[in-house]
Structure 1
């Protein structure tokens, strides 16, 4: 679709997505790019990167969003292997919360996967709304187009992208959890027709405690899957049982290698080099449109103090409710009203 640059709005770094020149001449693509912009506007900045500025009508359309200095879940999995059971529940809660918000503004993401999840110290961010859909609206999707990523795609979406629903996003959430907790994708397919079949996912290595939730999210029939709210409530209940602390500075309950990289990336300031030859030729825009674009730097991990790793997860147990538990149970109750449940 395009190239993403590290840019600057005054002194603050932003991510600037610039459409490839050959696509900028395609009216269909311009319309889809405008839909992506509308999706980013709707979702806001709590669960994703906030919109900064955009010009979908420029000679080369572009979108600038908040730059989140965090690795993707896919990067972390490829470098460090799967997360712990506790880390998987933390991811489940964050992703389900993000989907609840996306769906509340009548959007479908349709491409939730580890590569579209940023893992920050204060929670996950879901990015890339390039193939999102306004629920109930007149979209640009055709029946022959299976939009999304096959390894994480719901069967009904593989058959016809117009049939994607909130349940399809929940399916992708479950597939993402499988990858996060096992280190491998749940499905292997090279063409959409393979994903329309009722085949069993590869759950090798999945912690037994996650089996029930994941199996339900990956149900073949959309009506057999839980809602995003149900997933969040189950995940929060598990986290409560683990006693995840919040009294002091709380870090994500991720494996030590994951946490070290997340914190190292957070501590690295995005700085522009003095001069980058040729970068100005990559953008067909007026200087006022995109004031300063440079390739995104690759931060180097700096030595960090060791943080206490979570204890190994054990069986669920009854615990005495504390302030953390009361706070989250109250939030869950409030969310039921917020989302019509």
Structure 2
């Protein structure tokens, strides 16, 4: 009996030992996987640390350049001041040493030129530093998309434009671009600029117009993209009034497009007059003139070959409140204005909306 119990205890001990070894093996395998995951995380953190160190070195370099340029500018201004004082002394004493006076004048001219160069370099460095700080402090948020209506041919083929604008956390746009989709191309980037304000696809789906108007002022460019030739061009508009720029764009037909000419700054700028642009001749002129400056057309919408809707606002006498209005012209009436080289005042045509 004792012999039997001894054998049973030995078998039980062996089984328990095997179970413990199996459990330890599983635990070791889990620990090994956890250690590998931690090592990968550590490697990623080290990589991120290196990138941050590179950015820090770049910003330190910019600061050092800025300090050197400030020091050089200070030294130049000091030497310039000394030269001016010397010149004043020489002039006051009425010395006859014209050679010295000429040397001082030449030196002053040279120092003035160097000061101008250093000032320009300083401004450039400050802008680079400011851009770097903004880039570091204001990461981009999710892009906002705005899709135009699709153009579908009778045979079923389509053309679609998509406007994508990337914003920073301060809600200011940092980059915009237009994407083109056709049966032959997918999401082709046809235009990239700081901000796309308005764009329109021609009725025959062969050309695109767009602009980068902004109420912050600056230069506004009107772009035209030819889908058939895959070419992008900038339209010249040299004779527009100062401080005014094209804002809203809309095709009238395959030849003409309309645009709103708007004041590019100010809190009461919501629109303006309407111009027509002839793509065959490159000529443009006003067709909707509003003598009442409180009346401003903000958007234009063309509905086939039937009519054109002008969305507008009418300010009150204090220029603090507005009332929306809609004015309608048929496409034939609009073409008569173009062919007859005449203008129309829409401010009194439609009663204000409630």
Task: Give the structure-2-normalised TM-score.
Answer: 0.22
Specify the structure having the higher radius of gyration (Cα).
2
Q: Which has the higher strand share?
A: 2
TM-score by length of 1: 0.23
Higher relative contact order (CA 8 A, sep 6+): 1
